[in-house]
Amino acid sequence: MAILVIAEHDNRALKGATLNTLGAAAQLGGELHLLVAGFSCAAVVAQAAAIPGVSKVLVADAAVYAHQLAENLSRLVAGLGKGYSHLLAPAGSAGKNLLPRVAALLDVAQFSDIVGVVSPNTFKRPIYAGNAIATVQSLDPIVVATVRASAFDPLPAEGGSAAVETLDAAHDAGTSRFVGEELAKSDRPELGSARIVVSGGRGLGSGENFALLEKLADKLGAAVGASRAAVDAGFVANDMQVGQTGKIVAPELYIAVGISGAIQHLAGMKDSKVIVAINKDPEAPIFQVADYGLVADLFEAVPELERAL
């Protein structure tokens, strides 16, 4: 049986996490199909069809799917789902909003945030904010799961030529309406898929001081993140939060600046390849997980680091 992956995109471009989710799907064995549901999303379809390993791209291009409203999309996906062994989506806000609804329509369980494939029906996933890892088995005919992108290598983005099939079903539940959105505009890489992440905590003292981190991030080609303490203090927007209740990241290099290292923050970044911590408190718990710790005043160390690069 084939596997259906639901593409994450914004109608203009495919999000990188889709490639990691396909990477997880490739471990299951079976033909890979990719669903692009959106509106005026031809550019995304072209990107999807170019992914080697994807044999078919299903396209549902209709106004009712423009904003990924779960009420409409869940009907489409559940309708398709019966023909597949697995339905997977990246464990971002879109996938987490959609897939439980799909699973309930199909009367099957959903597995959240899988980080390992043990067998086609058995998965590893973090529980208790990553303080324990559960191995869980599906007893259902269809496996529905969201995939933690940082735990799987991506499939390559180019080189394939999948068949494209257009679906005409446009489901409109008529019960919800998109009003608007405010998205952070940034030229920096996406936090969830950046190779390097520079994060700031309460130690930054203010939102203005995040400019120090932004300069460092720009020098490194890095994304900027924050601890929950910095978000709750109003220094930066919530979408920058790294941690149990924010984004889970696993970049090659994670630089934690002025972050004490609360367990909830560590849950979001401890799988990074190399962790650097800069903090003036030598007892800060972040040093227990850092590969390289620098006990220093960040207001001196960060500009010095930026100049040294």
Partner 1 sequence: MKVLVTVKRVIDYNVKVRVKPDQSDVDLANVKMAMNPFCEIAVEAAVRLKEAGLASEIVAVSVGPAACQEQLRTALALGADRGIQIDSGEAPDPLGVAKLLAAVVAAEKPDLVILGKQSIDGDNNQTGQMLAALLDWPQATFASALALEAGRLRVTREIDGGLQSLELNLPAIVTTDLRLNEPRYASLPNIMKAKKKPLEVKSPVELGVTLKAHTRLLKVEAPAERQGGIKVGSVSELVEKLKSEAKVI
Q: Which residues are annotated as a binding site for FAD?
A: 202, 227-228, 241-245, 258-265, 279
CA distance 35 to 12: 15
Q: Which of residues 199-228 bind partner 1 (CB under 8 A)?
A: 220, 228
Minimum distance, C-beta of residue 104 to partner 1, in the bound complex (Å):
4
Out of 112, 150, 199, 227, name the contact with partner 1 by CB under 8 A.
Answer: 112
Between CA 100 and CA 106, with CA 101 as vertex, the angle to 5 degrees is 95
Out of 19, 217, 250, 253, name the contact with partner 1 by CB under 8 A.
Answer: 253
Minimum distance, C-beta of residue 246 to partner 1, in the bound complex (Å):
9
Structure letter (DSSP) for residue 216: H
Secondary element (H or E) of residue 196: strand 196-200
Say how many C-beta atoms besides its own lie within 10 A of residue 300's C-beta: 11
Residues in contact with partner 1, total (CB under 8 A)?
Answer: 89
Residues flagged as binding site: 202, 227-228, 241-245, 258-265, 279
How would you classify residue 199: left for phi > 0, otherwise alpha for psi between -120 and 50, otherwise beta? beta
**Binding span for partner 1 by CB under 8 A among 25-33, 40-48, 110-118, 163-171:** 110-118
Contact between residue 2 and residue 31 where contact means Cβ atoms under 8 Å apart: yes
Minimum distance, C-beta of residue 103 to partner 1, in the bound complex (Å):
7
Q: Which of residues 133-192 bind partner 1 (CB under 8 A)?
A: 133-140, 173-184, 190, 192
Q: Which of residues 19-58 bind partner 1 (CB under 8 A)?
A: none
Please tell me whether residue 75 adopts helix, strand or coil conformation. Answer: helix
Contact between residue 7 and residue 21 where contact means Cβ atoms under 8 Å apart: no
- Straight-line distance from the first to the last Cα atom of the chain, in angstroms, rounded to the nearest whole number: 51
Q: What are phi and psi of 296, to 5 degrees?
A: -165, 160
Q: Which of residues 61-90 bind partner 1 (CB under 8 A)?
A: 67, 69-71, 74
Minimum distance, C-beta of residue 69 to partner 1, in the bound complex (Å):
8
Out of 81, 130, 189, 268, name the contact with partner 1 by CB under 8 A.
Answer: 130
Minimum distance, C-beta of residue 116 to partner 1, in the bound complex (Å):
11
Q: Which of residues 258-287 bind partner 1 (CB under 8 A)?
A: 263, 270, 273-276, 282, 287
Beta pairing class for 122-127 and 116-119: antiparallel
